[in-house]
Each structure stands twice: as structure tokens, then as C-alpha cells.
Amino acid sequence: MPTSAPPKNRFERRRAETRQALVRAARQILAETGDTSASIQAIAERADVGFGSFYNHFESKTELFDAAVTDALEEFGQAIDERVEGIEDPAELVAAGFRLTAR
């Protein structure tokens, strides 16, 4: 997941939590079905947020699913970085990255 500065106040914290809940719900739906046709209502229910909250964070489902994929790729990249940390040899670094990606 993306690492950014923590929200400064309760409003910002709740806003970030709601946005992350929507992204997490979209990721779950993508993982389960591989399909982006889920309704906004279904996504909001999965995230346990109100329907209107969706539009406070995203203009469209496409924007949400783009954020979900970006979130997953960032998490994956961080996991690879953690596992290859300390490998000095460029060839071994590439090989380790490939092995982790091919799993």
C-alpha cells in the first residue's frame, strides 16, 4: 500500500480510511471475479460506506479500479523490494526479482 504522510486531523483520517476501504473493496472484487462490472452500490456495501461516499473520493468506477490496481502494484513492488534488499550482484538481483514475480 502507498506510504504517505499520515492524515493530520480526524476529518482527514476518516477521509483516508473511507478511500482506502473503497480501494480495498475494489481489490477484493477484482481478486474474486476479475471483473470490473460490479455496481458502485455493491462496492460501497463491500467497503461498508454510504453510496454517496464513493463520489467524494472517485469520479467513476474506472478511476476507483485504476486506484485499486495501482495500490496492488505498489504493495507488490514493496514486497519485492523487501525481499531483494541487500543483494549486491545485479544478475542475482534480476534473478531474484524474476523468481518473485513468476510465483
Structural domains of the chain ordered from first start: 10-102 (1.10.357.10)
Calculate the CA 63 to chain-centre distance.
12
Q: Is pTM beyond 0.85 here?
A: no
Going residue by residue through the chain, which has 103 residues, state the pLDDT in tens, using 9 for 90 and above: 455 677 678 988 899 999 999 999 999 999 998 888 899 999 999 999 999 999 999 999 999 999 999 999 999 889 888 888 888 898 988 888 888 887 6
